[in-house]
A and B are shown apart, each in its own frame.
Chain A
Amino acid sequence: MNQLSVQHLLGIKHLNKNDIELIFKTADHFKEVINRPIKKVPSLRDITIANLFFENSTRTKLSFELAEKRLSADVINFSSSQSSVKKGETLIDTANNILSMKVDIIVMRHPNVGACDFLAKHVTAKIVNAGDGTHEHPTQALLDSYSIREKLGSVAGKKVVIVGDVMHSRVALSNIYALKLQGAEIKVCGPKTLIPKYITSLGVEVCPNLNEALHWCDVANVLRVQNERMDVNYFPSTREYSQLFGITKKILDSLKKEIVIMHPGPINRGVEITSDVADSSQSIILNQVENGVAIRMAVIYLLAQQIERN
């Protein structure tokens, strides 16, 4: 198959295994493109893309923008802090106003769960979810799996532990869907208060002990504690959190094998991960960022392929 089975990228939940393989194969080609002296292809020169960011972002926004520009698309950027959203405009109105300027694809980040699904039902453009609240962040999960595949050869059969604030993390949910689809084994590890009650129904195991989880795994994907999404205290103190769930060089050195360390960023150094671990040779954090551009180029290219040229 050389076409995606979906019309929008709203979440990994809607994808199948072939879609993921197609995205990875296409990303392989784009990774070669972005390492050329001239890192640009003209495929999307007649496509316009709007990046709507209703929530703060550094990496994802830059990565999407770069991916779009590398494909030669025209790009317009929008962030809610400088817009009419503050004046009370609804999401559909904002989107339709942007679409009447002849936009083909919308990349959206929104603090509310399901905002992208909602928009996909009401507007004609292709929608790419760049993170909706605590729900899904599909391109992050794709680039995480792609980075594991690059480092370890494949994802199938690998043991991955997701450490930290699983409850508030869209990265965790999308990663669980993506890794499951590719046949990886998954455990989650973190304070009991930050592990959702029904997480085991997704086919993952809960492991409350970090040391045990790290001994078991091939890959540790470390998440940030999302204080901005917490309305109550989920653990007594940051210090206690980092003592129980922070990954240090000492713990890594005590393991019998060398595991791969990943982090979707932004990192709170000294909380969920120490600096020497984040900067060590085991860490593929910066590879994840590089792969992010190739993955986003692949996703946008494959969705644009479905838009008929007038």
Chain B
Amino acid sequence: MSKKSLLNSKEIHIILHRLACQLIEKHNSFENTVLIGIQPRGVHLANRLVSILQDEYNIPTIKYGLLDITFFRDDFRIRQEPIEANKTHIDFIVENKNVVFIDDVLFSGRSIRAALTAIQSFGRPEEIELLVLIDRRFSRHLPIQPNYRGRQVDVINKEKVIVQWKENEGKDAVYIINK
């Protein structure tokens, strides 16, 4: 198994600030915008972005929720190992809001497909955008593309992208692992 570093903590720091600025450019004061972290791995990225927006760019009130997509997946009863659900925490209605989905890696696009269905349980958004840290090119099964991307990479199928966060794994880093 080989491990190749894709991003180090300094690069991630720069990318997060760029993504935050791109969000501000589009959404200004976030008055009609809600950020939705996709469980489980998108939540760390979403938490980071929210704290950068609040602390460093002085945007005091950001509506922010967590969405679990387990019950909306299209591979229930097909996967070998059943997936354990995570907590959904959305205490607002997304009716007529601009929703930004936040996830760490965009691969087949199937998680985002599930998230697009799941979010409808909370109303009909005006618009939905997608922000990802890593966009794996040429790997999509569905016609889904991100609006904001941290880094685009070409990864062949047997390789895996691993995103690590300081809060969980001790340091911020992105690796490509060849299994």
Interface residues of A, Cβ cutoff 8 Å to B:
2-3, 25-26, 28-29, 32-33, 36-43, 301, 304-305, 307-309
The 6 closest A-B pairs by CB, nearest first: A41-B71, A38-B121, A309-B77, A29-B85, A2-B84, A36-B121
Structural contact, A41 and B72, CB atoms closer than 8 A: yes
Indicate if B29 sits at the interface (CB-CB under 8 A): no
Interface residues of B, Cβ cutoff 8 Å to A:
68, 70-72, 76-78, 81-88, 93, 117, 120-123
| Cα A170 to Cα B81 with chains together (Å) | 34
Q: Is the interface of A mostly helix, strand, loop or mixed?
A: loop
In the complex, chain B residues whose CB is within 8 Å of the CB of A301: 71
* Minimum Cβ distance to chain B for residue A305 (Å): 5
* Minimum Cβ distance to chain A for residue B91 (Å): 10
* Minimum Cβ distance to chain B for residue A210 (Å): 41
List 18 additional contacts besides A2-B84, A41-B71, A308-B77; criterion CB under 8 Å: A25-B84, A29-B85, A29-B86, A29-B87, A32-B88, A33-B71, A33-B88, A36-B122, A37-B93, A37-B122, A40-B121, A41-B72, A42-B71, A42-B72, A42-B117, A305-B76, A305-B82, A309-B77
Contact of A309 (CB < 8 Å), options: B68, B71, B78: B78
In the complex, chain B residues whose CB is within 8 Å of the CB of A308: 77
> Assuming A26-B85, A29-B85, A29-B88, is B77 touching A307 (CB within 8 A)?
yes
Structural contact, B68 and A29, CB atoms closer than 8 A: yes
* Minimum Cβ distance to chain A for residue B15 (Å): 32
Structural contact, A2 and B87, CB atoms closer than 8 A: no
> Assuming A2-B83, A29-B68, A29-B88, is B121 touching A43 (CB within 8 A)?
no
Structural contact, B77 and A304, CB atoms closer than 8 A: yes
In the complex, chain B residues whose CB is within 8 Å of the CB of A40: 121
* Minimum Cβ distance to chain B for residue A21 (Å): 12
Q: Which residue of A lies closest to B75 (CB)?
A: A309
10 contacts between A and B (CB under 8 A): A2-B81, A2-B84, A32-B87, A33-B88, A33-B121, A36-B121, A41-B72, A305-B77, A305-B82, A309-B78
| Cα A42 to Cα B73 with chains together (Å) | 8
Structural contact, B121 and A37, CB atoms closer than 8 A: yes
* Minimum Cβ distance to chain A for residue B124 (Å): 10
> Assuming A29-B68, A43-B71, is B123 touching A37 (CB within 8 A)?
yes
Structural contact, A2 and B68, CB atoms closer than 8 A: no
* Minimum Cβ distance to chain A for residue B74 (Å): 9
| Cα A40 to Cα B78 with chains together (Å) | 21
Structural contact, A43 and B76, CB atoms closer than 8 A: yes
Contact of B120 (CB < 8 Å), options: A38, A305, A309: A38
